[in-house]
Amino acid sequence: MTIRLYDTSARQIRDFTPLVPGCVSIYLCGATVQAAPHIGHVRSYLNFDIARRWFQYRGYDVTFIRNVTDIDDKIITKSAEQGRPWWSIGYENERAFNDGYQALGCLPPTYEPRATGHVPEMIEMMRGLIERGHAYEADGSVYFDVRSFPGYLELSNQDIDDLRQPDEGVAGKRDPRDFAMWKASRPGEPDWETPWGRGRPGWHLECSAMAHKYLGSAFDIHGGGRDLIFPHHENEIAQAKAYGDDFAAYWMHNAWVTMAGEKMSKSLGNSVLVSDMVQRWRPIVLRYYLGTPHYRSTIEYSEEALREAESAFARIEGFVQRVVEKAGGVVEPAAEVPPAFAEAMDDDLGVPQALAIVHTAVRQGNSALAADDKEEAVARLAEVRAMLAVLGLDPLDAHWAGEADRGDDLHGAVDTLVRLVLEQREAARARKDWATADAIRDQLTQSGLVIEDSPSGPRWTLGPR
């Protein structure tokens, strides 16, 4: 068994070899908590939640770090605009992010450090970089000298001379491309004491310092959205390696959720908040929608795509429920997933290919139910549950019990409406009005429903698309 991952730094898929046998260490860039999360934000953690679950299935002991950036320019700007303390805005939105992660069934991180809790580690790293000649102080700020680090821009594969120079007018910078690790205090802003005066962290320094603290000088995987490759991850690498760390052995980046071809972003006014979405859609359906495309593939947001995801998951869920009913109790997951599913997941977390194996097993199970082959149906359900557990989509998992009432309410409302129509069909059959009965059945079929006439009366399920 070998897991293979696309490594952004190598620009190819590589065999995964952990630094410590049997263990996997992951650092994921988490939320900057200036506002509530949209679905593009939570996609990243969902993708890495599935990766973590797969590593655990393969027997690895996973240490998973997801940071919180609770101080930066955007939070300070929001604080001034709203007349609220910066920490109040950060904490409120941090809770909103965690609510979103939990609603979508994500496992909690091993540790979730906040940037403001690690200023001493940042000071220590800056001190070391200044001593090594990779950083310098200017007017109370500390900058990283990008030309002092030969490997700068290797991750993003850029030429330093082609970089834009947005800070060319900043006094004290030796090169406009140098980036701030620490920003000198300004009136009305939060600040902390350092050997170079009071100030606050730069965005990039915090992750290098926290990764070092919680995972050491070397760890296996660093992850995040592909929009972080430059400048954030490029600057993290420069700081950490210039400090003496080996840092991350693999770099994994997930693609965006887009709307009309544009990356979902609050600044563009095209974001869809998680808090709104979980009121309109079942969270397990949102997880299916956001988690089942390949992590390196862009998701173009649309209501139609969500409805398709809802229908696809309903077919899986309907099969699960019918077999449980047939078996007269819960069917435990199989000890192992099917080999084809494992092969797909081992190949750079090929969730779409793995999901196809799930749907094949569901079709086989439905055929077994139609043939009244209980043993075969139960066997397929055991496989399906094992596969869904890896994807965090097992409807029988205890996590989803909280939304069962909501799902039951929705199903109950639809069931009531469909049964009214079926009663009209039964009345037509009773008076031998076969044309009307057949017309009603055809209309229900065109609506995506499958009608089964059983000894106890007609029953309906969602049919295949």
For the ranges 245-249, 350-354, 391-395, 422-426, which has the lowest average pLDDT? 422-426
For the ranges 74-88, 223-237, 256-270, which has the lowest average pLDDT? 256-270
**CA-wise closest residue to 282 among 111, 104, 36:** 104
Asked if 175 and 312 sit in the same domain, the reply is no
pLDDT for the residue 215: 98
Asked if 457 and 370 sit in the same domain, the reply is no
Asked if 244 and 331 sit in the same domain, the reply is no
Asked if 236 and 354 sit in the same domain, the reply is no
Asked if 454 and 324 sit in the same domain, the reply is no
Task: Count up the domains in the chain and report the number.
Answer: 3
Percent of the chain with pLDDT over 90: 79
Q: From CA 86, how far away is CA 76, in angstroms rounded?
A: 6
pTM (2 d.p.): 0.86
Give tens-digit pLDDT for 355-399: 999 999 999 999 999 999 999 999 999 999 999 999 999 999 999
CA distances for 225 relative to 111, 266, 415, angstroms: 20, 16, 41
**CA-wise closest residue to 245 among 49, 29, 25:** 25
The pair of three-digit structure tokens given for residue 6, joined into one six-digit string = 């696309």
- Asked if pLDDT for residue 73 goes beyond 70, the answer is yes
Asked if 259 and 131 sit in the same domain, the reply is yes
Boundaries of domain holding 23? 11-268
Asked if 254 and 361 sit in the same domain, the reply is no
Domain assignment present for residue 443? The answer is yes
> Model confidence at 221, in pLDDT bands (50, 70, 90)?
very high
For the ranges 251-260, 302-311, 417-426, which has the lowest average pLDDT? 417-426
Domain assignment present for residue 17? The answer is yes
> Model confidence at 457, in pLDDT bands (50, 70, 90)?
low
Q: From CA 388, how far away is CA 48, in angstroms rounded?
A: 16
Are residues 39 and 301 in contact, defined by beta-carbon separation less than 8 angstroms?
A: yes
For the ranges 26-35, 52-61, 422-431, which has the lowest average pLDDT? 422-431
Sign of CA dihedral 89, 92, 96, 101: positive
Sign of CA dihedral 350, 353, 358, 361: negative
More reliable by pLDDT, 259 or 86: 86
Last residue of one domain, picked from the residues 396, 427, 452: 396
pLDDT for the residue 465: 41
Q: From CA 147, how far away is CA 169, in angstroms rounded?
A: 19
Asked if 180 and 232 sit in the same domain, the reply is yes
Mean pLDDT (the chain, rounded): 92
| DSSP 3-state of 203 | helix
Asked if 69 and 195 sit in the same domain, the reply is yes
Domain assignment present for residue 81? The answer is yes
pLDDT for the residue 407: 47
Asked if 248 and 310 sit in the same domain, the reply is no
Asked if 32 and 144 sit in the same domain, the reply is yes
Asked if 347 and 370 sit in the same domain, the reply is yes
CA distances for 125 relative to 32, 134, 201, 387, 417, angstroms: 22, 11, 12, 43, 65
